[in-house]
Amino acid sequence: MPFFDARPLSRRTPRGRLVLAASLATLLAACNMTGSAGAAQSGPGDPVETRPPNAPNQTPAFEGQTRAPGVTTEATLSHTVVAEGLSHPWGLALLPDGNWLVTERPGRLRIITADGQVGEPIAGLPAVDARGQGGLLDVILGPDFSSDRRIYWSYAEPREGGNATSVARGVLSDDGTRVDNVEVIFRALPTYDGDKHFGSSLAFALDGTLFITLGERSDARMRPQAQDLGSHMGKTIRINADGSVPEDNPFVGREGALPEIWSLGHRNVQGIAVAPDGQVWTVEHGTRGGDEINLDRAGLNYGWPEVAYGIEYRGGEINEGITQKEGTEQPVYYWDPVIAPGGMTFYDGAMFPGWQGNLLVAGLKERHIARLVIEGDRVVGEERLLTDLGDRIRDVAVGPDGAVWAITDEDNGKLVRLFTP
């Protein structure tokens, strides 16, 4: 069994006073919407986004690319804060026993039980650079976790001359207290002395290859590297589980191209999900406008910084306001104004049958989960969930019973369960 601090809260150190909130469930539960549990969603209505866009002169490339019709879940939705006291949790992964692996950006990985017991930090992880947006980022289970107990995580790695995103793997001990046999299987290049846009989300494809999303490091002089095949910055990466390069990657053998690259032209991708049909979907941050949902396909160019929706943070056009260009892909969906998306997942569960196949996207700035109804490769409906929590939603996952779980990126970070009573 994993080790948990069983001392009374009054006897724990300040760092150890992670509130185990399961006993407060009835006080912390809050209702989002009302209706008949399990019923189908209501028909499309007006878009949920009512604020004016930052770039009012830009027009979508096709109908429904932004401001999809609003939909409403006809079910009673409640949420419970299961645990709190976490320091900026970033990644969330479900263990086979129903407990959760949760990363904290300062560099800690913990097990939190489904009833809110928060474990001590797991030993054995390498140091992280936790400045700015850096630190310990995503965590996922390996495809053979049940037999080898291997986990994978991404982090901002301190290096000589700066830092960059790296991915490591190791074996989680049977008692959940440490990770052994740690090895770094990917290091993004070049190293850069900055504190923004590390990405980074992880997902295993149906064929067992590992996808890694990366940012372009934000600063103006780094932006062009999103278009440079000799740099990992602003790319989606595909490697084998041991860090080797799949022979069918799109740029293998191309002179001057890094063979790990799957796609290019991204800004800061912090969410990735593999659909049941095997297609890879990613979500990335825009500036003031231009958060994007993309169907992330081999060898394609998603435009940044040459093509973008929205405007600069300081105001003014991005690259003369160009939103379409030959040789670049359009996003499936974009938000203007932004929601600042974190992690995402496809819904697959019994609790909300009307959500099957929907895309759930964590929203940081707008403090909600966006439920996107997908038909083919288009978004045809949007709903905002967990709006009454009032916290920045960093990552989202689906539990064994179909309830939705989320973590909040706050000084007092929370693990939250969204369910129908």
pLDDT in tens, 42-65: 667 999 999 999 999 999 999 999
DSSP string, 143-165: TTHHHH-EEEEEEEEEETTEEEE
Question: Average pLDDT of 387-415?
Answer: 97
- The verdict on residue 177 lying in a domain is yes
Domain presence at residue 323? yes
4 belongs to a structural domain: no
Residue 63 in any domain: the answer is yes
pTM above 0.95, yes or no: no
pLDDT higher than 80, residue 78:
yes
pLDDT exceeds cutoff 60 at 18: no
Domain that holds residue 49: 9-419
Q: Is 197 among the catalytic positions? A: yes
pLDDT at 20: 38
Q: What confidence score (pLDDT) does residue 326 get?
A: 97
Omega before 200 within 30 of 0, i.e. cis: yes
Cα–Cα distance between 18 and 357 in angstroms, integer?
Answer: 34
The CATH number given to whatever domain includes residue 191 is 2.120.10.30
What is the rounded average pLDDT of the residues 281-297? 98
For residue 117, the model assigns a pLDDT of 98
Residue 2 covered by a domain: no
Residue 29 has pLDDT above 60, yes or no: no
Question: Which one of the listed residues 79, 88, 197, 285 is annotated catalytic?
Answer: 197
Per cent of the chain over pLDDT 90 is 89
Q: Return the bridge partners of 186, or none.
A: 167
- pLDDT confidence band for 41 (50 / 70 / 90): low
Q: Is position 3 within any domain?
A: no
What is the arithmetic mean of pLDDT over 253-280? 98
- Please count the structural domains in the chain: 1
Mean pLDDT of the chain: 91
Residue 411 belongs to a domain: yes
Higher pLDDT, 26 or 91: 91
Radius of gyration of the chain (CA): 21
Mean local confidence (pLDDT), 332-356? 98
Q: How confident is the model at residue 417 (pLDDT cuts 50, 70, 90)?
A: very high
What is the reported pLDDT for 42? 64
Per-residue pLDDT band at 206 (split at 50, 70, 90): very high
pLDDT at 4 over 50: no
What pLDDT, on the 0 to 100 scale, is given for residue 44? 79
Confidence tier at 76 by pLDDT (50, 70, 90): very high
| β 179-187/202-204 pair status | unpaired
Does 137 map to a domain?
yes
Express each pLDDT in 299-320 by its tens digit.
999 999 999 999 999 999 999 9
Buried b (16+ CB within 10 A) or exposed e, 124-152: bbbebbbeebbbbbbbbbbbebeeebbbb
pLDDT higher for 29 or 210? 210
